[in-house]
């Protein structure tokens, strides 16, 4: 995951989504993330709403810095994070970079 943490997202206009082999290789770098319905997805659990929102706000800052934004489903004690890259019509390296950075927020 260290390699992903050191990368930054880049524009991928006209690119293609990752192949199944690439997805499998990168999934090993971000434990707990899964591929579901064409997106990279993970649900984080928290003790309360305050902790959930602190995570969401920190993730929003990363998303702004990387210019790559997830879909979020925020609940009292959890946040589901879903990444996909619309410009390639699927999952790209940008999604894995941001997934690694989301995980790093929690140590």
Q: Which domain holds residue 28?
A: 2-8+15-104
Number of domain units in the chain: 1
Q: What's the predicted TM-score (pTM) here?
A: 0.95
Residue-wise DSSP of the chain: -HHHHT------TT--PPPHHHHHHHHTTSTT-EEETTEEEEEEE-SSHHHHHHHHHHHHHHHHHHT---EEEEETTEEEEEE-BTTTTB--HHHHHHHHHHHHTT-
**Domain holding 32: CATH number?**
3.30.1360.20
Which pLDDT tens digit goes with each residue over 14-54? 999 999 999 999 999 999 999 999 999 999 999 999 999 99
């Amino acid at each position: 995951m260290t390699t992903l943490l050191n990368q930054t997202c880049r524009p991928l206009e006209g690119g293609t989504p990752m192949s199944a082999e690439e997805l499998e290789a990168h999934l090993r770098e971000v434990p707990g993330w899964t591929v579901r319905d064409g997106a990279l997805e993970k649900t984080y659990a928290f003790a309360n709403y305050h902790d959930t929102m602190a995570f969401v706000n920190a993730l929003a800052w990363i998303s702004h810095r990387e210019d790559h934004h997830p879909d979020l489903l925020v609940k009292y004690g959890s946040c589901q994070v879903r990444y996909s890259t619309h410009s390639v019509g699927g999952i790209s390296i940008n999604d894995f970079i941001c997934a690694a950075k989301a995980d790093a927020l929690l140590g």
